[in-house]
Amino acid sequence: NAGVTQTPKFRVLKTGQSMTLLCAQDMNHEYMYWYRQDPGMGLRLIHYSVGEGTTAKGEVPDGYNVSRLKKQNFLLGLESAAPSQTSVYFCASVVAAWGETQYFGPGTRLLVL
């Protein structure tokens, strides 16, 4: 099992450019989450999904979109990147709402110039 993987590991964007971050899990987990981590701010939830084809907004959803076309993949999109979106992005998954452990990916470092 690879667990939770994220692609790419690092990316530099110019303001206004778009990109998609990919999260993949091979644990057959229903629930998946996208967080951003900024110094001194902890982990903040961007969007989440409770199953294939369903998504919902988290705490800081503005400027991001997500899709979950396949159960194992959760995509995070930035349509027009802004410097404020410079952050480390983590994906996580859990078997279901009663699952005790969220498994995190290794993160994607994004720098927006």
Partner 1 sequence: QQQVKQSPQSLIVQKGGISIINCAYENTAFDYFPWYQQFPGKGPALLIAIRPDVSEKKEGRFTISFNKSAKQFSLHIMDSQPGDSATYFCAATIDRGSTLGRLYFGRGTQLTVWP
Q: How far is the CB of 16 from partner 1 (least distance, A)?
A: 28
How far, CA to CA in Å, does 15 sit from each of 31, 64, 85?
Answer: 31, 14, 10
Compare residues 69 and 97 and give the one whose CB is closer to partner 1: 97
The DSSP code for 27 is S
User: Is residue 46 within the footprint of partner 1 (CB under 8 A)?
Assistant: no
Identify which range of 13-21, 63-71, 79-87, 92-100 contacts partner 1 by CB under 8 A. Answer: 92-100
Alpha carbon distance 34, 43 (integer Å): 10
End-to-end Cα distance, the chain: 36
Interface residue with partner 1 among 65, 67, 86, 104 (CB under 8 A) is 104
66 contact partners, CB below 8 Å, separation of at least 6: 34, 46, 47, 49, 55, 74, 75, 76, 77
User: Is residue 41 within the footprint of partner 1 (CB under 8 A)?
Assistant: yes
User: Is residue 96 within the footprint of partner 1 (CB under 8 A)?
Assistant: yes
| Interaction site with partner 1 (CB under 8 A) | 4, 31, 33, 40-45, 48, 50, 56, 58, 90, 92, 94, 96-102, 104-107
